[in-house]
Amino acid sequence: MRAALLVLNAGSSSLKFQVFEACEEGPAPDEDRPRRVFRGLFEGLGGSPHLVIRDRDGLIVAEDSPAARRGRYGHEDALLAVAEWLRGHRGGYRLAAVGHRVVHGGRAHTAPVRVDDAVLDALDRLVPLAPLHQPHNLEPIRIVRRQFPDLPQVACFDTAFHHAQPEIAQLFAVPREMTEQGVRRYGFHGLSYAYIASILGDYASELAAGRVVAAHLGNGASLCALRAGRSVATTMGFSALDGLPMGTRCGSLDAGVVFYMLREMGLTPDAAERLLYTRSGLLGISGVSNDMRALRARAGADPDARMAIDLFIYRIGREIGSMVAALGGIDAIVFTGGIGENDAATRAEVLRAAAWAGFSLDEAANAGGGPLVTRGPGPSAWVIPTDEEAMIARDTRAVLAAMRQPVL
Ligand code: ADP
């Protein structure tokens, strides 16, 4: 049986997974790019589960709507089903390690870490910092520990990439004791930005050492200012609500609005949180959709859909200014995430909003998806697909190799 590294990204009712194996063509022993063999998605967990697994070429190799053996079909059933499928598929894969996406590492976890009891307890204590995401990220860690106690597990954090930002970029202007308690800017999308930083040099060697604004624009959206591949500022802060407006999240909001929601609108803290996370952003403004494709399709005839897009672009334009100020200039912008990689209109509108920085859009290259979508002497703009799972796979291998437990 071949050894497989499983990468998990768990949500409340979903489990995204990818499977990596050692490259058979014989990579150098220090090769840090394990080969992806499958990617899969379990949706509808707890309700009507549906599983699709695709191979490297995107062809469906398994599809199922499994029935619960007992009670509801949840994450535990899903994980067992994936392990069983892997054991039986084409000669069989044996799980050698699991790498997890974990949204919050807090102050203590500034790098990927092998999970043990103490680490799991520490990550549990961070649930109040990311109540809507952290519990779902930790559940599969517990399941794997229960079902496969000997399997090494590594947690990779969305916050870790930003930990080395200057202190001033991490502070809120609140009393020191609140900062000490952990009320500070952490930043998110760190796995995506770490991946982008790691491959900038493949696109243009000068970018790796330059001043780059990376724009991760998907359902969640943020900007990160990179200097020589390191994060010096980012738009998300204490929570993944801050910064840009997103699919359903509000982005930056005067804290006074929250008091108004509690006192005048009579919302409970939980209801206010749900409203700002799930009913705001592009969905809140447009009233119809959080999905950029749907908004683009309606924008010609629906002023609210157009306004949602316009606000998204306006806020990105303003925040680019803030990132450029933190960098003291700009050499390039990188678009990534579902919108950044696929929506040429958003890229064009953002570059127009940031024309003051000297971008000169190459319309044809932009329509064709780049990678370079500007021309001329000003700063450049690039389309670079992100790959958070590859980053987790690399980090997991590196952590285990450093512990003299190589898995692939
Ligand atoms: P997540 O943050 O959940 O990973 P994605 O990065 O997949 O989300 O981004 C989802 C967003 O990307 C949606 O708003 C979707 O409409 C948008 N998107 C995906 N493909 C396209 C496309 N071809 N044109 C415009 N928008 C697209």
CB of residue 16 inside a 6 A radius of ligand 1: no
* Nearest CA owner, ligand 1 atom 24: 343
pLDDT tens string 203-215: 999 999 999 999 9
Give the Cβ contact number of residue 28 at 10 Å: 7
The partner residues of 50 in beta bridges, in order of sequence, read: 43
**267 Cα to the center of ligand 1, angstroms:** 31
CB of residue 339 inside a 6 A radius of ligand 1: yes
CB of residue 292 inside a 6 A radius of ligand 1: yes
CB of residue 74 inside a 6 A radius of ligand 1: no
* Nearest CA owner, ligand 1 atom 21: 342
**340 Cα to the center of ligand 1, angstroms:** 8
> How far does CA 293 lie from the centroid of its chain?
20
**408 Cα to the center of ligand 1, angstroms:** 32
Residue type, 27: P
Q: So what's the pLDDT on residue 32?
A: 58
CB of residue 337 inside a 6 A radius of ligand 1: yes
Q: So what's the pLDDT on residue 30?
A: 46
In the chain the first and final C-alpha atoms are separated, in Å, by: 13
Which of 48, 64, 51 shows the shortest CA–CA distance to 15? 51
As annotated, the active-site residues are 158
Q: So what's the pLDDT on residue 20?
A: 94
**177 Cα to the center of ligand 1, angstroms:** 40
3 state SS of 132? coil
pLDDT tens string 174-231: 999 999 999 999 999 999 999 999 999 999 999 999 999 999 999 999 999 999 999 9
3 state SS of 354? coil
Q: So what's the pLDDT on residue 29?
A: 45
**385 Cα to the center of ligand 1, angstroms:** 12
Domains of the chain: 2-157 (3.30.420.40), 205-388 (3.30.420.40)
CB of residue 319 inside a 6 A radius of ligand 1: no
CB of residue 49 inside a 6 A radius of ligand 1: no
CB of residue 293 inside a 6 A radius of ligand 1: yes
Which pair of tokens denotes residue 201? 């040099």
* Nearest CA owner, ligand 1 atom 1: 219
Q: So what's the pLDDT on residue 343?
A: 98
Asked if omega into 371 is within 30° of 0 (cis), the reply is yes
d(CA 364, CA 381): 13
Ligand 1: residue of 132, 288, 293, 335 to mutate (most ligand atoms within 8 A of CB) is 293
Which residues in the chain come in under a pLDDT of 70?
Answer: 22-33, 69
Q: So what's the pLDDT on residue 25?
A: 52
Angle between helices 388-402 and 190-203 (to 10 degrees): 100
Q: So what's the pLDDT on residue 47?
A: 87
Residue type, 346: T
pLDDT tens string 17-51: 999 986 655 444 445 567 899 999 999 998 889 99
CB of residue 55 inside a 6 A radius of ligand 1: no
* Nearest CA owner, ligand 1 atom 3: 219
* Nearest CA owner, ligand 1 atom 13: 291
- Residue 234: exposure state from Cβ atoms within 10 A (0-12, 13-18, ≥19): buried
**293 Cα to the center of ligand 1, angstroms:** 7
Residue type, 226: L
3 state SS of 195? helix
**2 Cα to the center of ligand 1, angstroms:** 34
CB of residue 291 inside a 6 A radius of ligand 1: yes
